[in-house]
Structure 1
């Protein structure tokens, strides 16, 4: 049986650091890490270990930025890391030598050095992001897979494949590299399929030193150098790729290079992303998706909201299928506006939406971070951008839910332009990281319209506004009935009729709380029942302890 070790500095009996747990681990141990930031560099040799978050949706950051060492070093080992944020300073984020390395849903960043540096062994990267490093991924003499990853803003080359390495790189984006997007040399033999390479300072994909890659159905565009280049002595193939808006020539094949070039169909769409025929994507965990949709359907009312969310999920699912088939996929933002009165289920639906995106494989994590104005707005110029960026970074990979977002606008609340500074910061971050997070801004319908007008680019960042209508009186009665059932209470004769009458006549002004009103009423009724039973002069029976009488409702509502 595999051993599980818990890392939690605050819990007695748990390991205080990840390094301590690794030292105690045996082969095939699972190290479950409590949410938080761990300022350490870890080392693994001659062991098979899996690192996971101890809590579903919990955020675990491993930060060695102040140390001269890689954040993760492993040799002659097998290491799996799932859903971690990894930060380094002037050293690589992850180095592996002779190791079977697997990273899933991880977010890597470095000031200098590679994001992932692998020699020998095998590497498997899935749904990872690498940003701000000197190089994105360096693979030497190693097979493996890089699937659905995003490499951005690296100083030099996005991916380096060398010394006979033969990975399969699919459905990934390499963007904003100082030099080449992908550099294949010294007998490299990668398969690069369904990838996007863009905004490079030099060639999009460069092949040198007797290398022979297979480059299939890729989109290479907006590069300062040629889209593709093959040096003398190189072979391989370029199949159905689109090369657009690059340096001249778009494809630079030197004399003595012999790649096979199969042109794209004249009617082929510009963007070809996906795993092609090599490893079809499954579109996420279908069973989990259906379970989450069933949970959504079980919510009281919200017929229109459920339809809107299902429509979004259907579109995302089909896009994933198209992506895996190598078909074009249009840009789809996951940012939403939830407009409506309080107590209409906006937070609950936002949580479900985030879990659905994670289950579909669109976002690497199901993390959910709820914030309000006080979490984003500082007290002096510059402090707000810092606070907003920190909250955004913590939510990356999941959902950032901004409650009462309209209070950030200039004309609302105190703090003057500091709220506007938060909005301006969010607009840039939402665009720069649109594939890595879902931002959901919530609030009253009219006020949210004002919020969207505060920055010229703000409205365009959100793909849709979903309106949450007030609950009807019968729906509020059903909500109270469910609250009773969950807490082992039973509604007596005429109680539902009394509740319906109350919700029919209650004033529904701008401050009406919907489900919060139902919760408030239920708490009051429960208290009224307790007071009634307390004066019986005897111990109540089981039935008496469970039943809510009409008189209990009348006590709270003032009826009868």
Structure 2
């Protein structure tokens, strides 16, 4: 377990400064900072560490050196959480190489960029606030995901993505830039998704110099320049964007640009945008109630139903809080389903995806079920491609991985790329956690081994739901339900006979629960067909519908 170091100038036994904690920190340490103002210049080089405010929003770090970044990360693996960081002539936060997560932090630098990312770094910025700076955010020669951030009151460009960067801004609000809202050049296939950009001194979004971004479902409005400007030689897509109250034309595509402009939805059909908007459409309470009723109507699964309802309650209340401008903790939509086959895992996963759609968390209820063969390739690089492709197809819905534990088991035939698939999924689940609900399923003991296959895997899932085996009584009810669904009836005394059968049938690792009931009904229908063909006459409607004790006895002796 990672060691936690406490920083507090007033607490006995705690370290007085963050720098002292960094010097004492072992690899993987967590530094918990008590409320207060800390005048420190922090340089984090080549280590793995987390610096988190004990109470988010109560810790301010200001550099005593005006010409140095306040927090500088060089080739480290760092997480910053709940901090307010203030710079002056240099960035408040500068990341060069390595990887970083910046969560729920505020950053400002009066004469520099508030946050500067470069040197091939891989950075995720979520829930941040950047304001009152010369420039808001610069990403150069680095990968970045910027989600649900507010960038306001910037002197020059609010966001610059340039020179080999590959970055996606999602659900961000950019308001009040002296020049451009977002400026992208030589930035390859970067993108903007459902961002709100307004009150800029020039273009809301400017794209130049061989950049091919996907600009999707953004709202650009109230700008002094054009809403979206795309320069010669650029490509990409401008899709379903609202451009209002800007200089004419709202979208300016220069001659020689390859950019495709699409508009498949109009007016009120466009989704909410910006940092305060959810990633999906508005809640459909009637649909939520209908789906919860469908869940309640499933036979058995008492514990699972309660767990799903608790998850849905939390999601719904969080959406109500967000609508009132209250703080909301991040909630993962990823789940682990454990239990034997035939216990309803796939059915519940489908209902869960539909519930997330009805709650406005995911844009649609697409359900993609995959197994090892869909994710694991045959040569180096193939697995990452297959896993990313499957993940992409599920975006906006549910990716259901059945028998997920097989990914962590070698196939026994030379090179095995199951671990590569797991590592790829872990990264995708974090980078796109608001776009897909990943559900992994399998036997209970084997799934525990699977979750140990990658250090970050277990933490990606919100909860584990245990699906218990059905009782004999429940299997009889399931048999009746399946029969009625196929327009059959169970004859007299058949309930008691089925109860006896399901009580006596061996429950080893091959027992299939509801699948056993379905297979038994299929054999009974075949036995009925043979019996009815031997009548020497056309059967009546009731005879065609009714399965009898003789059909069961014949089926179980096949």
1:40-59 correspondence runs (5 A): none
Contact 1:406 1:412 in 2 (8 A): no
SS of residue in 2 equivalent to 1:296: helix
Shift of 1:493: 1.2
1:347 corresponding residue in structure 2: 346
- Deviations 1:421-465, CA, capped at 9 Å, x for gaps: 000000101011111110000000000000000110001111111
1:185 corresponding residue in structure 2: 200
SS of residue in 2 equivalent to 1:344: coil
Measured in 2, the distance between the counterparts of 1:378 and 1:533 equals 50
Contact 1:162 1:188 in 2 (8 A): no
Measured in 2, the distance between the counterparts of 1:467 and 1:477 equals 22
Shift of 1:492: 1.2
Residue 167 of structure 2 is aligned to residue 153 of structure 1: yes
Q: How many residues align?
A: 322
2:320 corresponding residue in structure 1: 321
Measured in 1, the distance between the counterparts of 2:312 and 2:170 equals 37
2:8 corresponding residue in structure 1: none
Contact 2:198 2:223 in 1 (8 A): no
Measured in 2, the distance between the counterparts of 1:185 and 1:367 equals 37
Measured in 1, the distance between the counterparts of 2:498 and 2:455 equals 46
Q: TM-score, normalised by structure 1?
A: 0.52
1:60-459 correspondence runs (5 A): 153-154=167-168, 184-186=199-201, 274=276, 284-411=283-410, 416-459=415-458
- Deviations 1:187-224, CA, capped at 9 Å, x for gaps: 999xxxxxxxxxxxxxxxxxx9999xxxxxxxxxxxxx
Cα 1:282–1:132, aligned 2, differ >3 Å: closer, same or farther?
closer
- Deviations 1:258-281, CA, capped at 9 Å, x for gaps: xxxxxxxxxxxxxx9646xxx9x9
Contact 1:369 1:401 in 2 (8 A): yes
1:464 corresponding residue in structure 2: 463
Measured in 2, the distance between the counterparts of 1:464 and 1:356 equals 16
2:534 corresponding residue in structure 1: 535
Unmatched segments (≥5 aa) in structure 1: 1-130, 137-151, 168-174, 190-207, 212-271
2:125 corresponding residue in structure 1: none
Contact 2:199 2:224 in 1 (8 A): no
Measured in 2, the distance between the counterparts of 1:538 and 1:290 equals 49
Measured in 2, the distance between the counterparts of 1:186 and 1:321 equals 34
SS of residue in 2 equivalent to 1:466: strand
Q: TM-score, normalised by structure 2?
A: 0.53
Measured in 1, the distance between the counterparts of 2:509 and 2:407 equals 20
- Deviations 1:470-520, CA, capped at 9 Å, x for gaps: 010011111111111112211111101100000000000011100110000
Measured in 1, the distance between the counterparts of 2:435 and 2:444 equals 27
**Cα root mean square deviation, aligned:** 3.9
Contact 2:342 2:514 in 1 (8 A): yes
Shift of 1:412: 5.6
1:509 corresponding residue in structure 2: 508
Measured in 2, the distance between the counterparts of 1:502 and 1:521 equals 10
